[in-house]
Chain A
Amino acid sequence: MGMTERQVDRPTPEHAGHDRLLIARAAADDALSPAERTTVAGLLMSCPACAALDVELRAITASLATDLPAPRRPRDFRISPDLMARGLSWRERLRDVLTGPAARPLAGAVCGLGLLLAVTGAVLPRVGTPTTLSNVGSAVTGAGAPAAEPAAGGGAATPASTAGEDRSTTKTVGGPLPSAVGIEVGPPQPRSTTPPTSLGSVPGGGAGDYTAGGVPPAAGPSQTPGGFDPDTLLIGTGVVLFAAGGSAYILLRRRPI
């Protein structure tokens, strides 16, 4: 060993400032730069504690390879049919999926699906929502606000009352018949936000029935009667799936099996 107990146990005060990691790298024969080699050589020559550290690290490393006894396994690990037939708990199944070869593609697919949902929710916010029907219904009657008032007041708007209000401002085809309520042929009304030409996109009877039937209009510009915003729900779900799938995709790189 070449070092005495006295030298090892009493390092010089300067030793505290020496680079122990550099000594450890040198003891492991790690690649050192010329400057690092010079520093190490100087430390080993001038500092007994650094020299002792070098020797001790080499001795411990050698001992790890030779003196650590091999632990004997407690049982045979061969897989029996019974072991295979053992039912997997949901945790084991989940772990197998998460650590299996399909985990990363699955995470990528979830991430992509999330992105798709988020983009869909952001780009196509109005297509197919009840808002469209509500607006069209107002345009068809030409009096969206008056038509909505009776319903908002608690009572269902009857075809007769709605038709009566409409007759005061618009001409209706076929007289005051309930079946003709709301089908306007006159010029656009000032309160209407959608031109009457939008009639072509909605069956006349259906639009008229919607208003005449007293169905209350949507509570907000893009909310369903249930009280939640489908666009926000779509975007939120997409963002959550995107974040979860992306995180899993990145983390699973660290555990390739």
Chain B
Amino acid sequence: MARAAGGDLAAFNEIVVAYQDFLFAVVVRVVGDREAAADAVQDAFLHAWRNVRSYRGGLVRGWLARIALNAATDVLRRRRRRPSEPYPEWEDDEWQPPSGPATDPDQEVTRRARGRALAAALLTITDEQRRAIVLYDVEGFDYPEIAQLTGVSLGTVKSRIHRGRLALRDRLADQLELFRD
């Protein structure tokens, strides 16, 4: 990071390689559109490069996530609630992580069905709830980190997560058998 702050593009690109999968996963789940998410991530890395001198220490992951979330917010603001195709690549099994040899095929089918149902339901809750749930339940950020990333209070973060989970449960009401053991 120090070399990147000194203007070394090759050093910054090492950071890009290390974090691009993570950032794209976060943004595409928040935005729900692959192309828009890709543009937002590219913009975020460019913005980070131009402002690399503003990096004040701390976790690079959080710094980049904050920039990427701002870019995702801009995408959402532009698009508002325009319907988009939810993760079209998920319909294609090529895109799925390979299952282990010991995995029961029936369980694998159910797991993928759960994933598709969750992805579709995520796109129907509010942007704020989705952002909080993606950061907490999917990406593993804790409450204070999310509060810092999204610029809201700890209580608001918790409220969004709880209400978002309730909303997800309601959207999945007719598919709850997928989640029963």
Q: How far does the alpha carbon of A26 sit from the alpha carbon of B103 in the complex, in Å? A: 32
Which of B63, B114, B151, B158 is close to A63, meaning CB atoms less than 8 Å apart? B114
A83 touches B46 (CB 8 A): yes
- Residues of A98-116 at the interface with B, using a CB-CB cut-off of 8 Å, are 99-101
Residue of A nearest to B46 (CB): A79
B38 touches A69 (CB 8 A): no
Interface string of A16-32 (1 = CB under 8 A from B): 00001100110110100
B34 touches A78 (CB 8 A): no
B47 touches A96 (CB 8 A): yes
B21 at the interface (CB under 8 A from A): yes
> Cβ of A68: which chain B residues have Cβ within 8 Å of it?
29, 115, 118-119, 138
> Cβ of A101: which chain B residues have Cβ within 8 Å of it?
51, 53-54
A30 touches B158 (CB 8 A): yes
Q: Min CB distance, B158 to chain A, in Å? A: 6
A56 at the interface (CB under 8 A from B): yes
A200 at the interface (CB under 8 A from B): no
A256 touches B151 (CB 8 A): yes
Interface string of B101-120 (1 = CB under 8 A from A): 00000000001101100110
Looking at chain B's contact residues, the main secondary structure is helix
Residue of B nearest to A251 (CB): B151
Q: Min CB distance, B70 to chain A, in Å? A: 6
Interface string of A133-173 (1 = CB under 8 A from B): 00000000000000000000000000000000000000000
Q: How far does the alpha carbon of A44 sit from the alpha carbon of B61 in the complex, in Å? A: 40
B45 touches A77 (CB 8 A): yes
Q: How many A-B residue pairs have CB under 8 A?
A: 143
B87 at the interface (CB under 8 A from A): yes
B169 at the interface (CB under 8 A from A): yes
A71 touches B34 (CB 8 A): yes
- On chain B, the number of residues with a Cβ less than 8 Å from chain A's Cβ atoms is 62
A65 at the interface (CB under 8 A from B): yes
Which of B21, B47, B54, B67 is close to A73, meaning CB atoms less than 8 Å apart? B21
A6 at the interface (CB under 8 A from B): no
Which of A28, A63, A71, A79 is close to B162, meaning CB atoms less than 8 Å apart? A28
Known: A1-B180, A253-B151, A256-B151. A74 touches B35 (CB 8 A): yes
> Cβ of A20: which chain B residues have Cβ within 8 Å of it?
166
Q: Min CB distance, A93 to chain B, in Å? A: 10
Q: Min CB distance, B45 to chain A, in Å? A: 5
> Cβ of B180: which chain A residues have Cβ within 8 Å of it?
1, 3, 59
A79 touches B165 (CB 8 A): no
A10 at the interface (CB under 8 A from B): no
A78 touches B13 (CB 8 A): yes
Q: How far does the alpha carbon of A214 sit from the alpha carbon of B25 in the complex, in Å? A: 77
Q: Which 3 A-B pairs have the closest CB atoms?
A: A101-B54, A254-B151, A73-B24
Residues of B participating in the A interface, judged by any CB pair closer than 8 Å: 9, 12-13, 16-17, 20-21, 23-25, 28-29, 34-35, 38, 41-42, 45-47, 49-51, 53-54, 63, 66-67, 70, 74, 87, 89-90, 95-97, 111-112, 114-115, 118-119, 133, 137-138, 140, 151-152, 158, 161-163, 165-166, 168-169, 172, 176-177, 179-181
Known A71-B29, A255-B70; 15 more pairs at CB < 8 Å: A28-B158, A28-B165, A30-B162, A63-B114, A63-B118, A64-B133, A69-B96, A70-B21, A70-B97, A71-B24, A71-B25, A71-B90, A73-B20, A76-B20, A84-B46
Residues of A participating in the B interface, judged by any CB pair closer than 8 Å: 1, 3, 5, 8, 20-21, 24-25, 27-28, 30, 53, 56-57, 59-61, 63-79, 81, 83-84, 95-96, 99-101, 253-257
